[in-house]
Amino acid sequence: MHSVDELIKLALKEDIGSGDITTDAIVSPDLEGIGDVIAKDDFIVAGLDVARNVFDHLDPQVLFSSTFKDGDRVKNGRIVFSVRGKLASILKAERTALNFIQRLSGIATLTRTYVDRLKDSNVRIVDTRKTTPGWRGIEKYAVKIGGGYNHRMGLYDGVLIKDNHIAACGGVRIAVNTARKQIHHLVKIEVEVTDMVELAEALSAGADVIMLDNMTPDQIRQAVKKINSTALVEVSGGVNLDNLHRLAETGVDFISVGALTHSAKSVDMSMKIQNH
């Protein structure tokens, strides 16, 4: 998984390349000023430290300040953060910094919308692996800032037996039993099931978590009753804000929402420069 520093270096190199030919041509390297980043939407802010680090990577003398912290609600028209220092440095880092914070704030904002819909429920909203390549760590961070929870970070930190694993192994029971022989006792096994036959197999094999994939609310209620608290229950597939309440009322423990990361819209911000 890429570190934030690696992502920032890559993003700056991608944008600046051999040099900012516009800024270098017309902005004196000694000219100083202030850049105020203005919210043009209402949103939950996430990624302030990432934005700060973008400026710091390019020019450690640029001073970054904000009255907000990640997780705060920002209103349209407010100053999200300000930077003070060499204007050439500020201009070169501007777009990269905004790309990070706008994307992460969009994820946090969408997540908060889902979480707020279930504010009177104990059901957890969790993310998926449907993330931007290389950005998984910071995108899942944004989900947490929005009030959601992280599913596994990757293929390496949790067993999730899905339909293609089951097809490759020849059945749910074989897949679970084979996995159990290969992992240590602290690792839980989750199994994705699509019908009651697969559910019965997963339960008899002792799965720790059952993922009910693309089932109707009535089917989910039937499955929850059959599971009877012998395993944790996750719902996935086709989840949206319109059916979220109906799914939560079925008695499940987790609702996984790929849209938190793959369909979040970046929020809008812009920088206004003052020289002095």
Active site residues per annotation: 95, 130, 162, 192, 213
Q: How far apart are CA 218 and CA 251, in angstroms?
A: 11
CA distance 54 to 12: 8
**Number of neighbours of residue 15 by Cβ within 10 angstroms:** 14
| Rounded distance between C-alpha atoms, residue 150 and residue 256, angstroms | 9
Cα 276 from Cα 87, distance rounded (Å)? 10
Could you tell me which residues come within 8 angstroms of residue 253 by beta carbon, excluding any fewer than 6 positions away? Answer: 123, 124, 232, 233, 234
- C-alpha–C-alpha distance, residues 152 and 160, integer Å: 9
Residues in the chain, total? 276
Tokens of 202: 């997963």
Residue (of 232, 222, 211) closest to 166 by Cα position: 211
Whole-Å CA distances, 56 to 63, 90, 92, 196 = 8, 10, 12, 55
The token pair at 220 is 């989910």
